[in-house]
Amino acid sequence: MGIDHRINANIAAMGLTRPTPIQEQGIPAVVQGRDVLGLAQTGTGKTAAFGLPMLTRLIRYGKKPEPRTCRALILAPTRELATQIAANIDAYAEGTPIRSFRVVGGASINVQTERLSRGVDVLIATPGRLIDLIERRAVDLRETTYLVLDEADQMLDIGFIHALRRIAKMLPRERQTLLFSATMPKLMSELADTYLTDPVRVAVNPPGQAAKKIEQGVHFVTQGDKATLLAEYLARHPGELAMVFGRTKHGSDKLARLLEKWGFAVAAIHGNKSQGQRERALEAFRRGDTQVLVATDVAARGLDIPEVAHVYNYDLPNVPENYVHRIGRTARAGRDGRAVAFCAPAELGELRAIEKAMKAPIPVIGGEVPVAPVAPGRGQSGRGSMGGKPMDGMANKRPARRASRRPKSQRG
Q: Is the pLDDT of residue 312 over 70?
A: yes
Q: How far apart are CA 80 and CA 84, in angstroms?
A: 6
Q: To which H or E segment does residue 252 belong?
A: helix 249-261
Residue 116 confidence (pLDDT): 97
Report d(CA 315, CA 347) in Å as an integer: 8
Q: What is the mean pLDDT of residues 175-184?
A: 88
Q: Lowest-confidence range among 28-42, 107-121, 323-337, 393-407?
A: 393-407
Task: Count the neighbouring beta carbons within 10 Å of the beta carbon of residue 239.
Answer: 8
Q: Mean pLDDT across the chain, nearest whole number?
A: 86
Of the candidate ranges 111-125, 193-207, 357-371, the one whose mean pLDDT is the lowest = 193-207
Each domain of the chain, given as residue ranges in start order, spans 5-203, 214-410
Residue 340 pLDDT > 60, yes or no? yes
One fold for 5-203 and 214-410: yes
Task: Return the pLDDT at 30.
Answer: 94
Residue type, 395: A
Whole-prediction pTM value?
Answer: 0.71
Identify the residue with better confidence: 351 or 162.
Answer: 351
Q: Looking at residues 223-248, what average pLDDT do you find?
A: 96
Query: Nearest 5 degrees, angle CA 266-CA 87-CA 213?
Result: 60
Predicted pLDDT of residue 208: 58
Cα 242 from Cα 251, distance rounded (Å)? 18
pLDDT of residue 42: 67
Q: 5-203 belongs to which homologous superfamily? A: P-loop containing nucleotide triphosphate hydrolases (3.40.50.300)
State percent of the chain over pLDDT 90. Answer: 61
Residue pLDDT, tens place only, 208-224: 566 678 999 999 999 99
Over range 215-237, report the average pLDDT: 96
**With 0-12 CB in 10 A as exposed, 13-18 as middle and 19+ as buried, what is 123?**
buried
* pLDDT classification of 183: cutoffs 50, 70, 90: confident
Alpha carbons 234 and 292: distance in angstroms, whole number: 8
Mean pLDDT of 190-200: 89
Q: How far apart are CA 219 and CA 364, in angstroms?
A: 6
Q: What is the pLDDT of residue 16?
A: 87
Distance CA 211, CA 312 (A): 16
What is the pLDDT, as a whole number, of residue 319? 85
Interacting residues of 18 by C-beta distance below 8 A, sequence separation 6+: none
Closest to 232 measured CA to CA, from 392, 360, 122? 392
Residue range 48-75: average pLDDT?
Answer: 94
Q: How many angstroms separate the CA atoms of 224 and 168, rounded?
A: 47
Pick the CATH number of 214-410 from 3.40.50.300, 3.30.479.30, 3.40.50.1820, 3.30.1360.80: 3.40.50.300
